[in-house]
């Protein structure tokens, strides 16, 4: 703060403080960053949803999450994210179904408002399955971050995008 603020500099100083505060409040917070960056890819060939990875958030700071993972799909695959807050009965999920052979990244921008409270523990489980025998999906370790839902255009279904 400058010494001897004058009326003409006070408004400029306050606008700058407000701009910096908005930037801090809307920042994204990383989640699920593995300590060991060399997790093995998970190869799923089962038609039953199989747990591939779990992203843990020990202290939820925002109600929107962005999760991205690499996929190599041969045939068809279904990827489901399940939010598991502190109480196991309060779950929510978002599912993506893909038919065809592809290699790319699957991203979810998921609004968990009303599902998890700020400050709660939250697990986001990644489940994968295939439609028929002979199909497979390789799921690479996911990564993500927390953000305000409006900041990442999050929706309640996660708005999954594969590219």
Q: What is the pLDDT of residues 111-131, one digit of tens each?
A: 988 888 888 888 888 999 998
Query: Are 78 and 129 in contact, with CB atoms under 8 Å apart?
Result: yes
CATH class of segment(s) 29-162: mainly beta
Query: Are 156 and 63 in contact, with CB atoms under 8 Å apart?
Result: no
Burial 120-141 (b: 16+ CB within 10 A, else e): eebbbbbbbbbeeeebbbbbbb
pTM for this model (two decimals): 0.75
Query: Are 83 and 128 in contact, with CB atoms under 8 Å apart?
Result: no
d(CA 110, CA 144): 11
Mind listing the pLDDT tens digit for each residue in 32-58?
444 344 578 999 999 999 999 988 888
């Amino acid at each position: 703060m400058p010494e001897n603020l004058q009326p003409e500099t006070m408004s400029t100083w306050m606008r700058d403080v407000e701009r910096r505060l908005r930037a801090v409040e809307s920042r994204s917070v990383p989640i699920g960053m593995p300590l060991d960056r060399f997790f093995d890819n998970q190869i799923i060939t089962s038609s039953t949803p199989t747990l591939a990875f779990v992203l843990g958030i020990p202290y939820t700071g925002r109600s929107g999450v962005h999760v991205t993972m690499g996929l190599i799909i041969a045939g068809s695959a279904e990827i489901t994210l399940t939010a598991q807050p502190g109480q196991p009965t309060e779950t929510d999920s978002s599912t993506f179904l893909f038919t065809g052979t592809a290699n790319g990244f699957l991203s979810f921008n998921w609004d968990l408002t009303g599902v998890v409270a700020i400050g709660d523990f939250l697990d986001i489980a990644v489940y994968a399955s295939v439609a028929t025998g002979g199909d497979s999906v390789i799921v690479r370790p996911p990564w993500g971050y927390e953000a305000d839902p409006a900041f990442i255009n999050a929706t309640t279904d996660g708005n999954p995008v594969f590219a």
